[in-house]
Every structure is written in structure tokens, then in C-alpha cells.
Structure 1
Amino acid sequence: MKLFMASLATETNSFSPIPTGWSGFKEHMYSKTASRGEAGMYAAAATVWRRRAEALGWDVAEGLSTYAQPAGPTVREVYETMRDDILNDLRGAMPVDVVLLSMHGAMIAQGYDDCEGDMLARVREIVGPDAKLGLELDPHCHLTELMLDNATAIICYKEYPHIDVVERAEELFTICADAAIGKTSPAMRDYDCRMMAMYHTPFEPVRSYVDRMSAMEGKDGFLSVSLVHGFPWGDNPRCGTRTLVITDGDAELAASRASELGQELWEMRKELRQFPTMDDGLDRAVAANAAPIVLADFADNAGGGAPSDSTFVLKAALERGLKDIAIGTFWDPVLVGMCIDAGVGSEMSVRVGGKIGPMSGDPVDLVVTVRGIAQNAVQHLGTAEMNMGDCVWLEADGIHLVVNTMRTQTFHPEAFENLGIGLSQMKYIVVKSSQHFYDGFAPIAAEVIHLATPGAITPDFTIVPFTKRDGNYWPKVENPFA
């Protein structure tokens, strides 16, 4: 048996003003040896697949692995060059029995609404109908017909925050390896839930729903069950929530179970979490008789394509006179460079945030003291290392800001602690993230409050300015099945 594997991943916010070009991919990971110890989510899958394949005595060929921080559509030449690099390596590795790809599932490039489907179709053309083709996806993806038509098996991470990348990579390998030796015959079917929502898996009712999905697998012919959350800020005709079921050779069973799961999710739609406005959430934090309170600046999450430089929460904190509050991370390479040059202990007049566009708010002028510097810093999501670039800690009269050079969301307390900020001394911690922060911050928080902040990915799915998908989905329409 011979395996070929590769990864090409980003999540596209169609409405972001930040283009996704070469620098977006090459600043994180751009490697053909990702399985040999590279850091990051999209190296984790390749590492699993190499280990599993070599343990079985298979030959392994590895193509490009790369990913970019979510932003606007990928430049056409950049996508086509990376795609063709992977395809050329695949041709050079032929014949192969199994191809495994790790992609995001919501990648859009100039001229391509469905990069994953485009990639799978071209791979299938090269390997022919008999090779097994598996795809691991982020659940914030667009599950398209082109993807389903060409893949043997597609699975999504089950957890949000995505702490189960390795487990899902193991699962996909098993499904495709079993299919390659004729032990199983995967049959996939999906169901359109006609919904857009946030499905935070640590909380009910989604926690129990995901547990029930997992409990179905491995018996009664069910190989895999996934919930496709969808990515609401990607302008794709298939944007939205879907259920996906893989059975052993029984397409009718897969379709019926996907439908049952989709209808079950529809019935619990009114129980899904609702977020307070920024002001209501801050009122709740101030009234709490505990600390620290962790507040999520939902709409300025770089992981959804936001700039990570919005000032809405910072301005509100200043207006309220809040002290002992840490906020991060602000993306501003120029400001970081200035502060590193000035050095720890320096007092400076600086302009923070508000640089990329209207979704960033207005810039804020502050007199700050440089309290800490950390170069080539990292933070973790589960076991995956996530690069932050160079970081500085700025203090302005009890307000503590983390500013960094590599646009990224806040995943872990390390984003603050790398600089020496003692989070136990803070009353409030504001993280620019929608949910991936939760696994790291919940253990230290007296309370976690998700704020429906203004910004690039505000969680109001009724106002997303789609041009390529229709408006027949909940909550924009009360009953899209009518």
C-alpha cells in the first residue's frame, strides 16, 4: 500500500479587506516535511498519518502542508500555484492507494468558490476511481457536492474549540485504510439543516448532542458522524449547517440518520446560546463578585478573518474607568517594533488599533509604559503550538494590552503570561477570540462571558451580506422549511 498526504488550509471571510497572499501562508508553515515534527494544527494530521502508515509497512509520499490565518479570498495565482504543487507531487508519487488531505473546508480564492472541491476533483482525476480519498475538515466549512462526489470519506473535528484534531486524523486513517483493503465500503450522505448558528461544544445542549453523535460510531454500520457547523462569513452557495453520516455500504441508512440528526438539531435551535451585547456583558462583569472574569471579543477574532485590532472593548473600558484589565492580542507589527526599540520601562505616546477599516473602530491614543517584551512567542491550542511572532506588554493606568506582530486569535493564557502578566491579579481578561480560547482560559476564570461585540464577524447571522447563497435559513427566516 502507498499513501500520499498533503495539507492546504485557510478559512475565507469573503467580507474581510485583508487579502490572503503568499505572506499569509509562509509566515506560519510551508513545508513538505510537516509530518517530521512541524508545529501547528495542520501538521498534526500528517504526523498521525505517517505514523499509522509506516506502522503498517506502507510507503508514504508527502506533499506540501501549509495554512494561512483566515482573511479575505486567497489570491488566485497563490492558490493555483500551491494546488498545482500538491498535484504535481501526487503525479510523481503514483500509483497510490490512499490519499489523505487536511484542509479547512471554507477556503475561497479568486475565481474559486470551493477550493476544497476543486482540489478533490483534480486529485480524483489523477488517482482514478479505486483509490481511497479522505478529507479532514474544520467543522466551520462549506460541505459541497463536489467534495462529496469525489471523496471516499470526509470527517470534521467534533469539538469547538478544536482540541480533537489528532483523534479525527486517527479516525479518518482507519476508515480509509479499512476501505483500501476491502474491509468496509464507506457511503456518505448529508442533510441541510437550513440553520446558521454557533455550536459551542462545551455547553448544553450541544455537548450532549455531540456525545450522542460519537456514541453512534463503530456499531450498527455507522463509521463516522459529523456536524458541519458552517462558516457564516464565507459567501458560498452551500454556506450553513449540515449533518454528515458515513456508513458501511448503506447509503440509505446514512441519509436517514443524517436527516434524523438534522431535525433533532433544528428542534433545539431556540436552546442554543445567545450572547449579551458588549455593554450588557461588561455590566455583568462589573457586577460579578469574583475575578478574573474572561470576556470574549467575539467579533474581532482573527480566526474568523477579523483584523484583531478593533478598539470597541478598549474604548468602553476606558469610558468606564476599568482597572486591572488585560486585553489581547492587538495586531500591529509597526507598534511592536517601536516598543522593542524603546525597550522595557520606556514611556511612550502610542496609537492603538483602528487601523484596518471600519470594523476596527477608531484608533485610541494612549500614554503607555512598555512592561514586557517576548520575541518569537508561542501559545497552545490543545497540544498544537500556535505562533504569535514578537509581542509587547503595554500598560496604561491599569489597562494592560498585548500587541503582537503575527495576526492570530488568543488561544491560551500563555498569550499574556509569556510577557509576565499575572492573570490572577486581573479583574477582567478580554480575549480576541470567539471560542478557541475556552479550553485554556475556563480553568482560571471565575466566569466566561461571550460578548456580541461590533466588528468583522459580529454574531448576527441575519445581516451577513451574502451574494451567492439565498436567504432561506434560520434565523433570517423563522421557518425555512415552510
Structure 2
Amino acid sequence: MALASPPRIFTAALATETNTFSPIVIDRRGFEDSLYAPPGQHPETPTLCTAPITVGRRVCAAQGWTLIEGTAAWADPAGLVSRGAYETLRDEILDQLRAALPVDAVVLGLHGAMVAQGYLDPEGDLLARIREIIGPDVLLAAELDPHSHLTAKRVAAADVFVAFKEFPHTDFVERAEDLWQIVVDTLEGRVRPVMSVHDCRMIDVFPTSRQPMRGFVDRMMAMEQDDPRILSLSAIHGFMAGDVPEMGTKTIAITDGNADFGAALARQLGEELYANRGRHMMPSLDETAAVAQAMAAASGPVVIADMWDNPGGGTAGDATVILRELLAQGATGVAIGTIWDPIAVQLCTVAGEGAEMPLRFGGKSAPETGEPMDALVRVIRVNPTAEMRFGESVVPFGPAVRIALLTATGEETGIEVILNTVRAQSYDPSLFTALGIEPLACKILVIKSTNHFYAAFQPIASEIIYCSAGHPYPNDPATNPYRLVRQDIWPRSDNPFGDAT
């Protein structure tokens, strides 16, 4: 589809990840607290799901093309998005697209696991409406987080989906570059992308920091490099905390005009994932064993990942289970980042640095997060604009405070906690340095993340312990109380394909 005049391309982003079991509803302010950038106001650095905008600026400038930017909005994961927040942001972007017409392509940054009040498939709704506006012949492409739901409605509306390959998601900029390469090659008439999808009928977790997923991703990248027929390969992991009908693992093969080859390739990759079902997840310990192992380590810092109280999976991030176990076992040299408690942050901020005060914090959001902590604390540091790094992104988590837990007589226990206001999982050691804690000086670092922390913390950790403490997150797909997820999917079914296999 080579064009006679320089292309006009519209780009925008609308993203969050919805844990349908979480009680925290995301309203418009939830997006504004994380990222809300009207046209042309997106910063130079991308967020996790807005790299198509920042990469698009570079690409279009180099090509001499016109890039029309729409709104970019990202909310840190939580529960359902309010109907009003979704509809107003959706309509804002659709109105911007109508004003930009005619366009030769639309390139979006999406997450893919959003659920809103009244909308089980918001991204499918958005993509279908965009397709109605631009017609059948305009290229529609989007970058996705692999922890998403690849619905039939989305596949029918879009021409190209490229998902991050890595978990932790260290490659969101590189995958945006892959997406834009396909867009450029398509508009200049060199390729004709055809998208094929295979349904693996499984629910699993796929960290690429360990085998077998490490090797699987490496082979996908080698196949893309070695076979000119392959434009892109992606594995959609699925998001087990999203109770929606089409949740689950799927594979995508985008080929240059070869649907049969693409279908066979997507099936081959999907069957390999299915054959390794149940082997991808990282081993974990309960809180008692995790703390004992960390205390017994010869050197630090030992990183304990509170993997199921992960705000990146939509939980509140205010569980106190591991903290109580650290106190019970007498651990010292501990820094915990973070426990979400806006009220406690406000109380400490007003009291000021150096204040000693009784404080109740954490354990308020949901069952199975532990009881609230009642402690005498000293306020060590207040940071009204705390933020950390995640690759090329800057992630806000403040206002935040650093407190030291004291004994009843005012002696320090050797445990410090960062309390935060904007929920965010623990991506990077800059989480601690933002509040004046030197991570390398600690014996134990407790973080709240399932695996996104790994790339940044592994180089400094003497040991990493994955801890399964309580059930703030629905982490057992065989027994999670789903209402909408289908039954013919592993591990809810031992034979989801029936006689087909």
C-alpha cells in the first residue's frame, strides 16, 4: 500500500490492568495520578504502555511523516475502571481521531487487560470504534502488554498486535520499535502483514528470567531474525486476575501475507507453551520459611518479593503479613518498600521528620492482607514527590514517607518501612534511594512485585526469595472464584482440548 504523499499517522494511548477481584475502582483521577497527557504533552520518556508515542515521534521525524498525537492515559493497576472514566477518555481519543482525518495509519499504546463498569472488553470496544471511523483499508496497529486478554473482537478490528516479550517487561521500547518498523514497511509497500492467533487454552505465569520461558523467548526472537516471512511473534500470557470470558494464554504470528504459514507457526508455539504448562512459575516459600532463609544468609541484601501483594497486579499493596513475620523472628537490617497507606502518609507528613508517634498502617484494603500494624514509629524522611525508575520510565509513588519501627521503650527495631500514596509495584532500587535508604547497606529488602523487579534488583541481590504470603491476589487459577472464565481451560480442566488433541 505504497502512498503517493507523506503519510499522516494518528497515535494515542489508553491503558491499565484490571484485577476484577480488587475493590479499588479507578476513576478519572486514577489516570491523572499516574499519567494523563493531552495531545502533544506526553513527556520524552514513555510509560509502560505509551512507548508507541515516543518511538513514533522519532520514526516520523526521520521519515518526514506527520504524526498527530492524541491523549495518552495510563492508570496504575487496580480494580474496575469506572464507566465515566473509560467512556470520557475513549471519546476524547475518538474525537481527536475524527479531527485528524484523513489518516493512513493509527498506532496505539494499549495494555490489554482493562475491564470497565459495563465493558468486559474496553480495548475491543475502542478498536472496533476506531475501525468504524477509519474504514477497512487504513492500517490499525497496537502494542500490548502480554498480561492481556486477546479477544476475538480485538483481532477482528486490528491489523497488527505486537506484545512485549520479556517478563519483567524490560523491552517495551524495543517492541514499540518493532511495531513501528512493521508500520513503516507496510505503508511503504514492502510487506503485507497478516495476523494469526492460536488459543492455548491455559492459564499460567511466564517469567522470562528463568527457564523454560527464557529459551522460548530467545527462539521467538531468533525466528524473527532468521526468517523474512516472519514479521513478529508474540506470546500473550493472559492475566489470571481478570475474570472475563476470553482470559488465557494465546500466541500471535504476524507474517508477510502468508496466513497458512502464520496459523501453523502460532499453533506450533502455542503447543510448546501448553506442553510446559505448570513448569513456568518461579518456586516460592511461605512467609515463615522466606524470613528464616533471608535471616540465615551470610550476606545481603537478600530480596524477599511479596509476589502476590503486587500493586502491578491490581492489589492495594498494603499487606502486612511479611512485616509481622519479620518482627516475630527478630529480623534486623530490614527495609520494606512499600506499604500503601495514604492516611498514614498524611499523618507522618504533618508530624514531620524526626517525630515519634503511635501509628496504625497497612492491612486495610481487603481480606487476607494481614491485620493493620499498630506501632510506635519515628518519621525519618518525607518525600512529597517520590518516584523510581523502570527502564526508561519514571514511576511516581509519592507522597511517601520513611518510618523506623520502634520498641515500646523507643529503641529502633532494625526495621524501616516506606509508606506511599500512589500505588506502584517495586520496580527498581531507586524506590529506596528516593527515601534516603541505601539498598546495599541492608540485610533484607522486602518488595512488592511478582517479577518486574528482577532485572533491576538481581544485580545487587545476594539472593532472591519469592514469597507467597496470604492471598491478596487470586493466584490459583484452578480454584479462583471465577464467574465468567470458561471451564475448558487448564488448570480448570485437565483436558481442555478434549478429543482435539
Superposed displacement of residue 40, structure 1: 2.5
Residue 402 of structure 1 pairs with residue 418 of structure 2 = yes
Residue 421 of structure 1 pairs with residue 428 of structure 2 = no
Superposed displacement of residue 446, structure 1: 0.6
Q: Which whole-Å CA distance do the structure 1 matches of 2:493 and 2:289 have between them?
A: 26
Superposed displacement of residue 198, structure 1: 1.4
**Matched letter for residue 51 of structure 1:** R
Q: Which whole-Å CA distance do the structure 1 matches of 2:373 and 2:427 have between them?
A: 24
SS of 1:310's equivalent in the other structure is coil
Q: Which whole-Å CA distance do the structure 1 matches of 2:81 and 2:392 have between them?
A: 28
Q: Which whole-Å CA distance do the structure 1 matches of 2:401 and 2:223 have between them?
A: 47
**Matched letter for residue 212 of structure 1:** R
Alignment check: 8 A CA contact 1:452 1:459 kept? no
Alignment check: 8 A CA contact 2:310 2:449 kept? yes
Change (3 A) 1:71 1:270: closer
Superposed displacement of residue 258, structure 1: 0.8
Superposed displacement of residue 88, structure 1: 0.6
Aligned to 1:244: 252
1:369 corresponds, among 363, 369, 378, to: 378
Give CA deviations for 1:23-71 in whole Å, capped at 9, x if unaligned: 1001121112244525523443201112101211111111110111111
Change (3 A) 1:220 1:92: same
The equivalences for 1:243-282 within 5 A come to 243-272=251-280, 273-282=282-291
**Matched letter for residue 263 of structure 2:** A
Query: Percent of aligned pairs with the same residue?
Result: 43
The equivalences for 1:329-344 within 5 A come to 329-344=338-353
Q: Which whole-Å CA distance do the structure 1 matches of 2:192 and 2:368 have between them?
A: 48
Aligned to 1:298: 307
Aligned to 2:408: none
Superposed displacement of residue 376, structure 1: 0.6
Aligned to 2:446: 430
Superposed displacement of residue 400, structure 1: 0.8
Q: Which whole-Å CA distance do the structure 2 matches of 1:338 and 1:262 have between them?
A: 51
Aligned to 1:9: 15
Q: Which whole-Å CA distance do the structure 2 matches of 1:211 and 1:309 have between them?
A: 36
Alignment check: 8 A CA contact 2:103 2:138 kept? yes
Residue 167 of structure 1 pairs with residue 174 of structure 2 = yes
Q: Which whole-Å CA distance do the structure 1 matches of 2:238 and 2:46 have between them?
A: 26
- Shifted more, 426-435 versus 29-38: the winner is 29-38
Aligned to 2:333: 324
TM norm structure 2: 0.93
Alignment check: 8 A CA contact 2:27 2:81 kept? yes
Q: Which whole-Å CA distance do the structure 1 matches of 2:322 and 2:47 have between them?
A: 29
Aligned to 2:387: 378
**Matched letter for residue 309 of structure 2:** D
Residue 24 of structure 1 pairs with residue 33 of structure 2 = no
Aligned to 1:462: 478
1:82 corresponds, among 70, 89, 92, to: 89
Give CA deviations for 1:58-97 in whole Å, capped at 9, x if unaligned: 1111111011111111111111111011001100000000
TM norm structure 1: 0.97
The equivalences for 1:90-101 within 5 A come to 90-101=97-108
SS of 1:395's equivalent in the other structure is strand
**Matched letter for residue 129 of structure 1:** P
Residue 284 of structure 1 pairs with residue 265 of structure 2 = no
Alignment check: 8 A CA contact 1:303 1:409 kept? yes
SS of 1:121's equivalent in the other structure is helix
1:186 corresponds, among 187, 193, 203, to: 193
Residue 154 of structure 1 pairs with residue 154 of structure 2 = no
- Shifted more, 287-296 versus 299-308: the winner is 287-296
**Matched letter for residue 194 of structure 1:** R
Superposed displacement of residue 481, structure 1: 2.5
Residue 49 of structure 1 pairs with residue 56 of structure 2 = yes
Aligned to 2:322: 313
SS of 2:269's equivalent in the other structure is helix
Change (3 A) 1:379 1:462: same
**Matched letter for residue 5 of structure 1:** T
Q: Which whole-Å CA distance do the structure 2 matches of 1:55 and 1:113 have between them?
A: 39
Ranges in structure 2 where 5+ consecutive residues have no aligned partner: 1-6, 406-412
- Shifted more, 267-276 versus 194-203: the winner is 267-276
Cα RMSD (Å): 1.4
- Shifted more, 316-325 versus 102-111: the winner is 316-325
Count matched residues: 482
Q: Which whole-Å CA distance do the structure 2 matches of 1:195 and 1:217 have between them?
A: 25
Change (3 A) 1:449 1:382: same
Q: Which whole-Å CA distance do the structure 2 matches of 1:22 and 1:10 have between them?
A: 12
Alignment check: 8 A CA contact 2:386 2:435 kept? no
Q: Which whole-Å CA distance do the structure 2 matches of 1:36 and 1:431 have between them?
A: 28
Give CA deviations for 1:357-414 in whole Å, capped at 9, x if unaligned: 2143210101111112222111011111101122111111111100011111111111
Q: Which whole-Å CA distance do the structure 2 matches of 1:359 and 1:226 have between them?
A: 35
**Matched letter for residue 398 of structure 1:** G
**Matched letter for residue 13 of structure 2:** S
Q: Which whole-Å CA distance do the structure 2 matches of 1:399 and 1:121 have between them?
A: 51
The equivalences for 1:121-140 within 5 A come to 121-140=128-147
Superposed displacement of residue 322, structure 1: 1.4
